[in-house]
A and B are shown apart, each in its own frame.
Chain A
Amino acid sequence: MKIRTALRSWLVASLLVAIGCIDAAFSSGGTAYTKRYKTTLLAEPSPQAKAVGELPLAQKVRIEQVQGKWLKVNGGSAAGWVFLGSLSETKPDEGKGFDGTPMLASETTATAAARPLTPAADEYSQRRNLGSASDDLNWMINQCATITPAQVAHYLKTHRKGEYQ
Protein backbone atom coordinates (compact mmCIF):
# COMPACT_ATOMS: atom_id res chain seq x y z
CA MET A 1 0.00 0.00 0.00
CA LYS A 2 2.83 2.33 0.93
CA ILE A 3 4.57 1.55 -2.35
CA ARG A 4 1.43 2.36 -4.28
CA THR A 5 1.03 5.65 -2.41
CA ALA A 6 4.67 6.54 -3.02
CA LEU A 7 4.36 5.67 -6.71
CA ARG A 8 1.28 7.81 -7.03
CA SER A 9 3.02 10.72 -5.32
CA TRP A 10 5.95 10.35 -7.69
CA LEU A 11 3.63 10.38 -10.69
CA VAL A 12 1.85 13.50 -9.52
CA ALA A 13 5.13 15.21 -8.58
CA SER A 14 6.61 14.43 -11.99
CA LEU A 15 3.59 15.83 -13.73
CA LEU A 16 3.72 18.98 -11.65
CA VAL A 17 7.40 19.43 -12.48
CA ALA A 18 6.65 18.99 -16.17
CA ILE A 19 3.79 21.47 -16.01
CA GLY A 20 5.96 23.86 -14.03
CA CYS A 21 8.60 23.81 -16.76
CA ILE A 22 6.01 24.61 -19.41
CA ASP A 23 4.38 27.32 -17.37
CA ALA A 24 7.62 28.99 -16.37
CA ALA A 25 7.46 31.40 -19.28
CA PHE A 26 3.88 32.39 -18.52
CA SER A 27 3.70 34.33 -15.31
CA SER A 28 1.54 37.07 -13.94
CA GLY A 29 2.65 40.44 -15.29
CA GLY A 30 4.21 38.87 -18.37
CA THR A 31 3.04 38.94 -21.96
CA ALA A 32 2.09 36.34 -24.56
CA TYR A 33 0.45 36.10 -28.00
CA THR A 34 -2.64 34.44 -29.34
CA LYS A 35 -1.87 31.75 -31.91
CA ARG A 36 -5.27 30.92 -33.40
CA TYR A 37 -7.21 32.94 -35.92
CA LYS A 38 -9.82 33.37 -33.22
CA THR A 39 -9.15 32.96 -29.51
CA THR A 40 -12.22 32.97 -27.31
CA LEU A 41 -11.91 34.52 -23.86
CA LEU A 42 -13.96 33.01 -21.05
CA ALA A 43 -15.54 34.42 -17.91
CA GLU A 44 -14.02 31.70 -15.72
CA PRO A 45 -11.07 29.31 -15.96
CA SER A 46 -13.23 26.51 -17.28
CA PRO A 47 -14.08 25.27 -20.79
CA GLN A 48 -17.76 25.41 -19.85
CA ALA A 49 -17.61 29.09 -18.88
CA LYS A 50 -19.37 31.81 -20.82
CA ALA A 51 -17.49 33.48 -23.68
CA VAL A 52 -16.77 37.13 -22.93
CA GLY A 53 -14.64 38.16 -25.88
CA GLU A 54 -12.54 37.17 -28.82
CA LEU A 55 -9.04 38.04 -29.97
CA PRO A 56 -7.44 37.77 -33.43
CA LEU A 57 -4.25 35.96 -34.40
CA ALA A 58 -0.95 37.25 -33.03
CA GLN A 59 -2.62 39.59 -30.54
CA LYS A 60 -0.27 40.55 -27.73
CA VAL A 61 -1.87 40.03 -24.33
CA ARG A 62 -0.89 40.91 -20.78
CA ILE A 63 -1.12 38.08 -18.25
CA GLU A 64 -3.00 39.27 -15.20
CA GLN A 65 -3.44 36.05 -13.28
CA VAL A 66 -2.31 32.42 -13.44
CA GLN A 67 -4.39 29.55 -12.11
CA GLY A 68 -2.96 26.15 -12.94
CA LYS A 69 -3.00 25.83 -16.72
CA TRP A 70 -5.36 28.78 -17.09
CA LEU A 71 -4.39 32.40 -17.61
CA LYS A 72 -6.42 35.55 -17.18
CA VAL A 73 -5.33 37.87 -19.95
CA ASN A 74 -6.02 41.34 -21.23
CA GLY A 75 -5.71 41.94 -24.95
CA GLY A 76 -6.78 45.57 -24.91
CA SER A 77 -10.07 45.13 -26.70
CA ALA A 78 -11.08 42.16 -24.54
CA ALA A 79 -10.11 40.40 -21.31
CA GLY A 80 -10.85 36.97 -19.91
CA TRP A 81 -9.55 33.47 -19.21
CA VAL A 82 -7.80 31.21 -21.71
CA PHE A 83 -6.21 27.79 -21.51
CA LEU A 84 -2.43 27.96 -21.51
CA GLY A 85 -2.30 26.00 -24.76
CA SER A 86 -4.06 28.83 -26.58
CA LEU A 87 -1.11 31.17 -26.19
CA SER A 88 2.43 31.36 -27.46
CA GLU A 89 5.51 32.91 -25.93
CA THR A 90 6.54 34.30 -29.28
CA LYS A 91 4.57 36.18 -31.90
CA PRO A 92 3.24 33.70 -34.45
CA ASP A 93 4.11 33.90 -38.10
CA GLU A 94 1.00 35.18 -39.80
CA GLY A 95 1.67 32.94 -42.76
CA LYS A 96 2.15 35.52 -45.45
CA GLY A 97 2.86 34.33 -48.96
CA PHE A 98 4.83 35.86 -51.79
CA ASP A 99 2.12 38.44 -52.20
CA GLY A 100 2.29 39.40 -48.54
CA THR A 101 -1.29 38.32 -47.94
CA PRO A 102 -1.97 36.35 -44.75
CA MET A 103 -3.73 33.00 -44.96
CA LEU A 104 -7.47 33.48 -44.84
CA ALA A 105 -9.27 32.39 -41.72
CA SER A 106 -11.70 30.52 -43.97
CA GLU A 107 -8.85 28.26 -44.99
CA THR A 108 -8.70 26.89 -41.49
CA THR A 109 -12.22 25.50 -41.61
CA ALA A 110 -13.54 22.03 -42.37
CA THR A 111 -13.57 22.94 -46.06
CA ALA A 112 -9.83 23.40 -45.94
CA ALA A 113 -9.46 20.09 -44.13
CA ALA A 114 -10.97 18.31 -47.14
CA ARG A 115 -8.96 20.28 -49.66
CA PRO A 116 -7.35 17.88 -52.15
CA LEU A 117 -3.75 17.83 -53.28
CA THR A 118 -2.56 21.07 -54.82
CA PRO A 119 -2.31 21.13 -58.64
CA ALA A 120 1.45 21.43 -58.21
CA ALA A 121 1.54 18.19 -56.22
CA ASP A 122 -0.73 16.47 -58.74
CA GLU A 123 1.65 17.44 -61.51
CA TYR A 124 4.61 16.37 -59.40
CA SER A 125 2.94 13.00 -58.87
CA GLN A 126 2.53 12.54 -62.62
CA ARG A 127 6.09 13.52 -63.39
CA ARG A 128 7.38 11.10 -60.76
CA ASN A 129 4.90 8.29 -61.45
CA LEU A 130 3.52 8.40 -57.92
CA GLY A 131 -0.06 7.55 -58.85
CA SER A 132 -0.47 4.96 -56.13
CA ALA A 133 0.85 7.30 -53.46
CA SER A 134 -1.43 9.99 -54.79
CA ASP A 135 -4.45 7.69 -54.35
CA ASP A 136 -3.32 6.93 -50.80
CA LEU A 137 -2.81 10.59 -49.96
CA ASN A 138 -6.21 11.60 -51.30
CA TRP A 139 -7.75 8.76 -49.26
CA MET A 140 -5.89 10.08 -46.21
CA ILE A 141 -7.17 13.61 -46.79
CA ASN A 142 -10.75 12.37 -47.09
CA GLN A 143 -10.46 10.14 -44.01
CA CYS A 144 -9.00 12.95 -41.94
CA ALA A 145 -11.79 15.28 -43.02
CA THR A 146 -14.38 12.89 -41.58
CA ILE A 147 -12.95 13.44 -38.11
CA THR A 148 -14.54 16.68 -37.05
CA PRO A 149 -13.31 19.28 -34.55
CA ALA A 150 -16.31 18.30 -32.42
CA GLN A 151 -15.06 14.71 -32.28
CA VAL A 152 -11.62 15.91 -31.23
CA ALA A 153 -13.23 18.05 -28.54
CA HIS A 154 -15.22 15.02 -27.38
CA TYR A 155 -12.01 12.99 -27.14
CA LEU A 156 -10.39 15.76 -25.09
CA LYS A 157 -13.38 15.94 -22.79
CA THR A 158 -13.80 12.21 -22.20
CA HIS A 159 -10.08 11.66 -21.73
CA ARG A 160 -9.56 14.77 -19.61
CA LYS A 161 -7.05 16.35 -21.91
CA GLY A 162 -6.32 19.94 -22.86
CA GLU A 163 -8.60 22.45 -21.20
CA TYR A 164 -10.65 19.57 -19.76
CA GLN A 165 -7.85 18.37 -17.44
Chain B
Amino acid sequence: MNARFGLIPAIIFAFAAHASAFDFGSLGNALGNDRINQGIDTARDLGKVAKGIAGIGPEEEKAIGDSVALEIVSRYGGLVRDDAIMRRVNLVGRSLARYSDRPDLSWRFAVLDSNSVNAFSAPAGYVFITRGLYDLATDDDALAGILGHEIAHITRKHALNIIAKSDALTGATNQLVMRSSNARALDSQLQQFDLGIGQITKTLFETGYSPQSEFDADKVGHDLAALTGFAPGGLRGVLVHLQHRSGRVEKAFSTHPPLKARISRLPDEPALLSPALSGNGNTGVGPTAAAQGNTGKVDEDEENFAKGAK
Protein backbone atom coordinates (compact mmCIF):
# COMPACT_ATOMS: atom_id res chain seq x y z
CA MET B 1 0.00 0.00 0.00
CA ASN B 2 2.86 2.39 -0.33
CA ALA B 3 5.71 3.39 -2.48
CA ARG B 4 8.37 1.72 -0.51
CA PHE B 5 9.12 -1.59 -2.00
CA GLY B 6 12.81 -1.94 -2.42
CA LEU B 7 15.40 -4.52 -1.88
CA ILE B 8 17.47 -4.87 1.22
CA PRO B 9 20.69 -5.09 -0.80
CA ALA B 10 19.80 -1.87 -2.57
CA ILE B 11 19.20 -0.11 0.72
CA ILE B 12 22.36 -1.45 2.28
CA PHE B 13 24.31 -0.42 -0.80
CA ALA B 14 22.76 3.03 -0.75
CA PHE B 15 23.67 3.54 2.85
CA ALA B 16 27.12 2.11 2.46
CA ALA B 17 27.73 4.71 -0.21
CA HIS B 18 26.80 7.46 2.20
CA ALA B 19 28.16 6.00 5.38
CA SER B 20 31.08 8.34 5.49
CA ALA B 21 28.94 11.42 5.05
CA PHE B 22 25.89 10.59 7.14
CA ASP B 23 26.00 9.93 10.82
CA PHE B 24 22.69 10.01 12.61
CA GLY B 25 24.51 10.10 15.89
CA SER B 26 24.95 13.80 15.22
CA LEU B 27 21.23 14.27 14.89
CA GLY B 28 20.82 15.68 18.35
CA ASN B 29 23.28 18.45 17.64
CA ALA B 30 21.59 19.24 14.35
CA LEU B 31 18.26 19.50 16.09
CA GLY B 32 19.34 22.56 17.99
CA ASN B 33 17.35 21.30 20.94
CA ASP B 34 18.75 22.03 24.36
CA ARG B 35 17.08 19.04 25.91
CA ILE B 36 18.58 16.68 23.39
CA ASN B 37 21.97 18.31 23.54
CA GLN B 38 21.86 17.94 27.30
CA GLY B 39 21.02 14.29 26.82
CA ILE B 40 23.80 13.88 24.34
CA ASP B 41 26.26 15.27 26.84
CA THR B 42 25.07 12.73 29.36
CA ALA B 43 25.25 9.97 26.83
CA ARG B 44 28.72 10.99 25.77
CA ASP B 45 29.89 11.14 29.32
CA LEU B 46 28.45 7.83 30.26
CA GLY B 47 29.14 6.15 26.98
CA LYS B 48 25.50 5.18 26.71
CA VAL B 49 24.97 5.87 23.05
CA ALA B 50 24.08 2.56 21.57
CA LYS B 51 24.47 1.58 17.99
CA GLY B 52 21.22 0.88 16.21
CA ILE B 53 17.58 1.64 16.63
CA ALA B 54 17.70 1.68 20.41
CA GLY B 55 19.63 4.94 20.17
CA ILE B 56 16.77 6.80 18.52
CA GLY B 57 14.49 8.14 21.23
CA PRO B 58 11.10 9.85 21.07
CA GLU B 59 12.52 13.34 20.46
CA GLU B 60 14.74 12.15 17.66
CA GLU B 61 11.94 10.12 16.14
CA LYS B 62 9.60 13.12 16.19
CA ALA B 63 12.16 15.34 14.46
CA ILE B 64 12.74 12.68 11.81
CA GLY B 65 9.01 11.99 11.43
CA ASP B 66 8.10 15.68 11.11
CA SER B 67 10.74 16.20 8.43
CA VAL B 68 9.82 13.10 6.45
CA ALA B 69 6.15 14.08 6.67
CA LEU B 70 7.02 17.50 5.21
CA GLU B 71 8.60 15.81 2.23
CA ILE B 72 5.62 13.51 1.71
CA VAL B 73 3.12 16.38 1.84
CA SER B 74 5.25 18.50 -0.46
CA ARG B 75 5.74 15.76 -3.01
CA TYR B 76 2.13 14.59 -3.11
CA GLY B 77 0.20 17.80 -3.70
CA GLY B 78 -0.47 18.99 -0.17
CA LEU B 79 -3.38 17.90 2.01
CA VAL B 80 -7.09 17.65 1.31
CA ARG B 81 -8.45 20.20 3.77
CA ASP B 82 -11.83 18.64 4.36
CA ASP B 83 -13.04 18.34 7.95
CA ALA B 84 -15.31 15.36 7.30
CA ILE B 85 -12.59 13.38 5.54
CA MET B 86 -10.10 14.21 8.27
CA ARG B 87 -12.60 13.05 10.85
CA ARG B 88 -13.20 9.77 9.07
CA VAL B 89 -9.56 8.81 8.54
CA ASN B 90 -8.64 9.81 12.06
CA LEU B 91 -11.49 7.96 13.75
CA VAL B 92 -10.76 4.77 11.85
CA GLY B 93 -6.99 5.23 12.08
CA ARG B 94 -6.88 6.01 15.76
CA SER B 95 -9.25 3.15 16.54
CA LEU B 96 -6.68 0.83 15.00
CA ALA B 97 -3.68 2.59 16.52
CA ARG B 98 -5.21 2.24 19.98
CA TYR B 99 -4.58 -1.51 19.80
CA SER B 100 -1.29 -1.35 17.93
CA ASP B 101 2.05 -2.04 19.59
CA ARG B 102 2.65 1.71 20.00
CA PRO B 103 -0.70 3.03 21.24
CA ASP B 104 0.73 6.08 22.97
CA LEU B 105 2.23 7.72 19.89
CA SER B 106 0.55 10.92 18.69
CA TRP B 107 -1.14 9.22 15.73
CA ARG B 108 -2.17 11.53 12.89
CA PHE B 109 -3.90 10.64 9.65
CA ALA B 110 -4.56 12.75 6.56
CA VAL B 111 -5.40 12.55 2.86
CA LEU B 112 -2.92 13.80 0.24
CA ASP B 113 -4.34 15.82 -2.62
CA SER B 114 -3.09 13.50 -5.33
CA ASN B 115 -4.89 11.29 -7.84
CA SER B 116 -2.22 8.64 -7.57
CA VAL B 117 -2.98 5.46 -5.66
CA ASN B 118 -0.66 5.25 -2.73
CA ALA B 119 -0.18 5.57 1.02
CA PHE B 120 2.77 6.56 3.16
CA SER B 121 3.83 6.69 6.74
CA ALA B 122 6.53 8.56 8.60
CA PRO B 123 8.08 7.86 11.99
CA ALA B 124 6.34 9.20 15.10
CA GLY B 125 2.82 8.36 13.93
CA TYR B 126 2.19 10.12 10.62
CA VAL B 127 -0.01 8.25 8.14
CA PHE B 128 -1.00 9.59 4.72
CA ILE B 129 -3.27 8.16 2.07
CA THR B 130 -3.65 9.71 -1.39
CA ARG B 131 -7.06 10.88 -2.55
CA GLY B 132 -6.84 8.34 -5.36
CA LEU B 133 -6.60 5.51 -2.85
CA TYR B 134 -9.03 7.09 -0.41
CA ASP B 135 -11.65 7.12 -3.18
CA LEU B 136 -11.31 3.34 -3.40
CA ALA B 137 -11.94 2.92 0.33
CA THR B 138 -15.70 3.11 0.07
CA ASP B 139 -16.22 1.49 3.47
CA ASP B 140 -14.42 1.64 6.80
CA ASP B 141 -13.28 -1.98 6.50
CA ALA B 142 -11.27 -1.18 3.36
CA LEU B 143 -9.95 2.02 4.89
CA ALA B 144 -8.91 0.10 8.02
CA GLY B 145 -7.04 -2.41 5.86
CA ILE B 146 -5.07 0.37 4.17
CA LEU B 147 -4.36 2.32 7.36
CA GLY B 148 -3.49 -0.85 9.28
CA HIS B 149 -0.70 -1.57 6.82
CA GLU B 150 0.76 1.92 7.26
CA ILE B 151 0.42 1.78 11.04
CA ALA B 152 2.38 -1.47 10.94
CA HIS B 153 5.28 0.25 9.14
CA ILE B 154 5.50 2.66 12.08
CA THR B 155 5.06 0.15 14.89
CA ARG B 156 7.61 -2.17 13.29
CA LYS B 157 9.92 0.83 12.83
CA HIS B 158 10.69 -0.06 9.25
CA ALA B 159 11.92 3.45 8.39
CA LEU B 160 13.99 3.72 11.56
CA ASN B 161 15.39 0.27 10.95
CA ILE B 162 16.83 1.51 7.68
CA ILE B 163 18.80 4.05 9.62
CA ALA B 164 19.94 1.42 12.07
CA LYS B 165 20.97 -0.92 9.26
CA SER B 166 22.95 1.86 7.68
CA ASP B 167 25.42 1.61 10.51
CA ALA B 168 24.69 5.28 10.97
CA LEU B 169 25.30 5.30 14.66
CA THR B 170 28.70 3.75 14.39
CA GLY B 171 31.16 6.02 16.06
CA ALA B 172 28.36 8.12 17.45
CA THR B 173 30.19 8.76 20.66
CA ASN B 174 33.10 10.34 18.85
CA GLN B 175 30.86 12.39 16.62
CA LEU B 176 28.91 13.69 19.56
CA VAL B 177 31.99 15.50 20.75
CA MET B 178 31.34 17.91 17.92
CA ARG B 179 29.13 20.55 19.47
CA SER B 180 26.87 23.04 17.78
CA SER B 181 28.79 25.95 19.32
CA ASN B 182 31.12 25.55 16.37
CA ALA B 183 29.34 27.03 13.33
CA ARG B 184 31.23 24.85 10.89
CA ALA B 185 30.45 21.75 12.86
CA LEU B 186 26.79 22.75 13.08
CA ASP B 187 26.63 23.21 9.34
CA SER B 188 28.12 19.80 8.85
CA GLN B 189 25.64 18.28 11.28
CA LEU B 190 22.71 19.93 9.54
CA GLN B 191 23.92 18.50 6.26
CA GLN B 192 24.06 15.09 7.86
CA PHE B 193 20.53 15.49 9.17
CA ASP B 194 19.26 16.49 5.72
CA LEU B 195 21.12 13.61 4.16
CA GLY B 196 19.52 11.24 6.64
CA ILE B 197 16.03 12.48 5.80
CA GLY B 198 16.94 12.19 2.14
CA GLN B 199 17.86 8.56 2.58
CA ILE B 200 14.51 7.79 4.16
CA THR B 201 12.52 9.65 1.51
CA LYS B 202 14.53 7.95 -1.21
CA THR B 203 13.37 4.67 0.25
CA LEU B 204 9.78 5.90 0.48
CA PHE B 205 9.55 7.37 -3.01
CA GLU B 206 12.03 5.42 -5.10
CA THR B 207 13.67 2.23 -3.93
CA GLY B 208 10.90 1.26 -1.53
CA TYR B 209 11.02 -0.96 1.52
CA SER B 210 12.06 -4.53 1.10
CA PRO B 211 9.35 -6.98 0.00
CA GLN B 212 9.79 -8.66 3.38
CA SER B 213 8.95 -5.41 5.17
CA GLU B 214 5.88 -4.95 3.00
CA PHE B 215 4.64 -8.50 3.54
CA ASP B 216 5.26 -8.02 7.25
CA ALA B 217 3.22 -4.80 7.22
CA ASP B 218 0.44 -6.61 5.33
CA LYS B 219 0.29 -9.32 7.99
CA VAL B 220 0.55 -7.03 11.01
CA GLY B 221 -1.99 -4.63 9.50
CA HIS B 222 -4.37 -7.49 8.72
CA ASP B 223 -4.13 -8.82 12.28
CA LEU B 224 -4.63 -5.35 13.73
CA ALA B 225 -7.76 -4.74 11.65
CA ALA B 226 -9.19 -8.11 12.68
CA LEU B 227 -8.35 -7.53 16.34
CA THR B 228 -10.05 -4.14 16.27
CA GLY B 229 -13.15 -5.68 14.74
CA PHE B 230 -12.90 -4.61 11.12
CA ALA B 231 -13.37 -7.13 8.33
CA PRO B 232 -10.09 -9.06 8.13
CA GLY B 233 -10.26 -9.07 4.33
CA GLY B 234 -10.41 -5.28 3.98
CA LEU B 235 -6.86 -4.87 2.70
CA ARG B 236 -7.10 -7.90 0.45
CA GLY B 237 -10.29 -6.50 -1.05
CA VAL B 238 -8.52 -3.26 -1.98
CA LEU B 239 -5.56 -5.14 -3.46
CA VAL B 240 -7.84 -7.37 -5.52
CA HIS B 241 -9.67 -4.28 -6.76
CA LEU B 242 -6.38 -2.67 -7.76
CA GLN B 243 -5.30 -5.85 -9.50
CA HIS B 244 -8.26 -5.50 -11.81
CA ARG B 245 -7.47 -1.92 -12.68
CA SER B 246 -5.39 -1.31 -15.72
CA GLY B 247 -2.11 0.29 -16.68
CA ARG B 248 -1.28 3.32 -14.69
CA VAL B 249 -2.03 1.87 -11.28
CA GLU B 250 0.31 -1.00 -11.98
CA LYS B 251 2.85 1.59 -13.05
CA ALA B 252 2.46 3.51 -9.84
CA PHE B 253 3.04 0.35 -7.84
CA SER B 254 6.05 -0.69 -9.83
CA THR B 255 8.34 -0.68 -6.79
CA HIS B 256 5.97 -2.88 -4.81
CA PRO B 257 6.00 -6.64 -4.79
CA PRO B 258 3.43 -7.75 -7.35
CA LEU B 259 -0.13 -7.39 -6.14
CA LYS B 260 -0.61 -11.07 -6.89
CA ALA B 261 2.16 -11.99 -4.45
CA ARG B 262 0.70 -9.81 -1.72
CA ILE B 263 -2.83 -11.10 -2.29
CA SER B 264 -1.67 -14.70 -2.20
CA ARG B 265 -0.13 -14.15 1.24
CA LEU B 266 -3.33 -12.79 2.74
CA PRO B 267 -6.10 -15.17 3.79
CA ASP B 268 -9.20 -15.20 1.60
CA GLU B 269 -11.57 -13.56 4.05
CA PRO B 270 -14.59 -11.27 3.81
CA ALA B 271 -13.77 -7.71 2.77
CA LEU B 272 -16.90 -6.43 4.46
CA LEU B 273 -18.63 -7.25 7.70
CA SER B 274 -22.30 -8.05 7.65
CA PRO B 275 -24.41 -5.26 9.22
CA ALA B 276 -25.04 -7.46 12.24
CA LEU B 277 -21.33 -7.60 12.95
CA SER B 278 -20.41 -4.02 12.17
CA GLY B 279 -22.59 -2.13 14.61
CA ASN B 280 -23.90 1.02 13.01
CA GLY B 281 -21.94 0.48 9.85
CA ASN B 282 -19.43 2.97 8.57
CA THR B 283 -18.53 6.46 9.71
CA GLY B 284 -21.02 7.65 7.14
CA VAL B 285 -18.40 9.82 5.51
CA GLY B 286 -17.67 8.18 2.20
CA PRO B 287 -15.04 9.29 -0.27
CA THR B 288 -17.59 11.30 -2.28
CA ALA B 289 -16.34 14.69 -1.20
CA ALA B 290 -12.80 13.86 -2.13
CA ALA B 291 -13.93 12.28 -5.37
CA GLN B 292 -15.45 15.57 -6.48
CA GLY B 293 -11.98 16.94 -6.91
CA ASN B 294 -10.81 13.98 -8.95
CA THR B 295 -10.41 15.09 -12.56
CA GLY B 296 -9.38 11.69 -13.75
CA LYS B 297 -6.22 13.11 -15.28
CA VAL B 298 -2.99 11.24 -14.90
CA ASP B 299 -1.32 12.84 -11.95
CA GLU B 300 2.02 14.52 -12.39
CA ASP B 301 3.13 12.94 -9.12
CA GLU B 302 2.35 9.54 -10.50
CA GLU B 303 4.30 10.17 -13.67
CA ASN B 304 7.26 11.36 -11.64
CA PHE B 305 6.90 8.44 -9.32
CA ALA B 306 6.89 5.98 -12.16
CA LYS B 307 10.00 7.59 -13.62
CA GLY B 308 11.75 7.62 -10.28
CA ALA B 309 10.97 3.97 -9.72
CA LYS B 310 13.01 2.82 -12.66
Residue numbers of A with Cβ under 8 A of B are: 8, 10-12, 14-15, 17-19, 21-22, 35-37, 69, 83-86, 88, 90, 92-93, 95-101, 103, 107-108, 112-113, 115, 117-121, 123-125, 127-128, 130, 132-134, 136-137, 139-141, 143-144, 147, 151-152, 155-156, 158-162, 164-165
Contact = CB atoms under 8 A, between A and B. Distances in A.
A97 B108 contact: no
Given A120-B30, A147-B91, A161-B230, A15 B194 contact: no
Contacts of B74: 128, 130, 132-133
B226 A103 contact: no
A88 B101 contact: yes
Interface stretch (B12-20, B37-45, B289-297): B37-45
A159 B279 contact: yes
Contact of B232 (A10, A15, A137): A15
A101 B43 CA distance: 10
A103 B280 CA distance: 37
Contacts of A69: 227
A160 B110 CA distance: 24
B51 to A, nearest CB: 12
Contacts of B243: none
Contacts of A18: 222-223, 226, 232, 267, 269
Contact of B280 (A19, A22, A93, A158): A158
Interface stretch (B62-70, B145-153, B249-257): B62-70
B98 interface: yes
A93 B60 CA distance: 15
Given A95-B58, A128-B74, 10 more contacts: A19-B226, A96-B57, A99-B43, A113-B106, A118-B62, A124-B193, A143-B86, A144-B106, A159-B281, A162-B95
